[in-house]
Amino acid sequence: MTVFTSDGVGGRIAYYRSVVRPKMTQRQLADAACVALGTIRKIERGERGVTDATLEAIAQALGVDPTRPG
């Protein structure tokens, strides 16, 4: 299981959530990705890494390709 801990991952998630998908709250992203709200918050703040499965779920909820370089 790969866990991404790069500072950029959480920042990119926050960017896509707030800029690319305007008005998508952390709660809406958490619900759409079937991920706990606290997990989304910690990932965006860089306090927690993200597994491949979680990253794929978040990317799908945001409508982005998780393999696309930031």
Residue 68 is assigned to a structural domain of this protein:
no
Q: What is the pLDDT of residue 70?
A: 59
Give the highest mean pLDDT range of 14-18, 53-57, 66-70. 53-57
- For the chain, the domain total comes to 1
Q: What is the pLDDT of residue 44?
A: 94
Q: What is the pLDDT of residue 65?
A: 83
How far apart CA 24 and CA 4 sit, in angstroms, is: 23
Residue 67 is assigned to a structural domain of this protein:
no
Give pTM, 2 decimals.
0.82
State the residue range of the domain holding 37.
3-62
Q: What is the pLDDT of residue 26?
A: 95
**Residue 12, burial from CB neighbour count under 10 angstroms (0-12, 13-18, 19+):** buried
Q: CB-side exposure of 47: number of CA atoms within 13 Å? A: 6
Residue 43 is assigned to a structural domain of this protein:
yes
Average pLDDT for 16-30: 88
